[in-house]
Amino acid sequence: MLLIALTGGIGAGKSSAGSLLARLGAIHISADQLAREVLERGEEGFNQVVAEFGDEILTNGAIDRGKLAEIIFNDSSKRDLLEEITHPLIAQRFLRIKNSLPENAVVVYEIPLLAERPERVPDFDFIVTIETSQELRLERLQGRGLTRDQAIGRMAHQTSDKNRREISHHVIENNGDMETLLTALEEWWDDFIAPRIVD
């Protein structure tokens, strides 16, 4: 099994890159999606987070990710608390999925905060960073409904492009369209992944 970490700053285009790599034959797993799953009603994560943050983060009985985001992005201690609850649960869920896959699988794990968690770096055979200009990232985040100030704040809470580059085996720029990104990913795949795939 080849285990590839796909990382990058918020708004860089990691999800798009992950979807394109799935077209090339990878199994794409998103840490953000796993984070949503562990916070669903009935899950251990849901119970722990509501116990710590209170019913005010709920909308119609479900955790309102927007409300939760406003809290954690304005209070680093609350963000640390949320990560203490969710990161182990996300890691457990990822491990269960990984262990269910064939031995010859190529797994792309989309993990935004890898550079912030250096203890995870040795877990991966390859680390690929998707890098995008700050202005384009801001445009994308505003397109998702954030204000410019909110987008700047979210970006400020993440590590720098420099730190992400330092842990990466390969950096792919994503300042163009999807076809340009696909071409760059195909070239990387053909050079580094295809020769290592065992039938």
Rounded mean pLDDT of 174-187?
97
Within 8 A by CB and 6+ apart from 196, the residues are: 2
Give the model's confidence band at 1: pLDDT under 50 very low, under 70 low, under 90 confident, else very high.
very high
Within 8 A by CB and 6+ apart from 74, the residues are: none
What domain range is 156 assigned to? 2-196
CB-side neighbour CA atoms (13 Å) of 39:
24
**What CATH number does residue 117 fall under?**
3.40.50.300
Give the position of tokens 């116990």.
51
CA distance 29 to 193: 17
pLDDT single digits (tens) 61-104: 999 999 999 999 989 999 999 999 999 999 999 999 999 999 99
Give the count of beta carbons closer than 10 Å to the beta carbon of residue 160: 11
pLDDT single digits (tens) 187-199: 999 999 999 987 6
- Residue 172: per-residue pLDDT: 97
pLDDT single digits (tens) 104-158: 999 999 999 999 999 999 999 999 999 999 999 999 999 999 999 999 999 999 9
Encoded tokens for 46 = 């849901």
- Name the domain count of the chain: 1
The model's pTM: 0.94
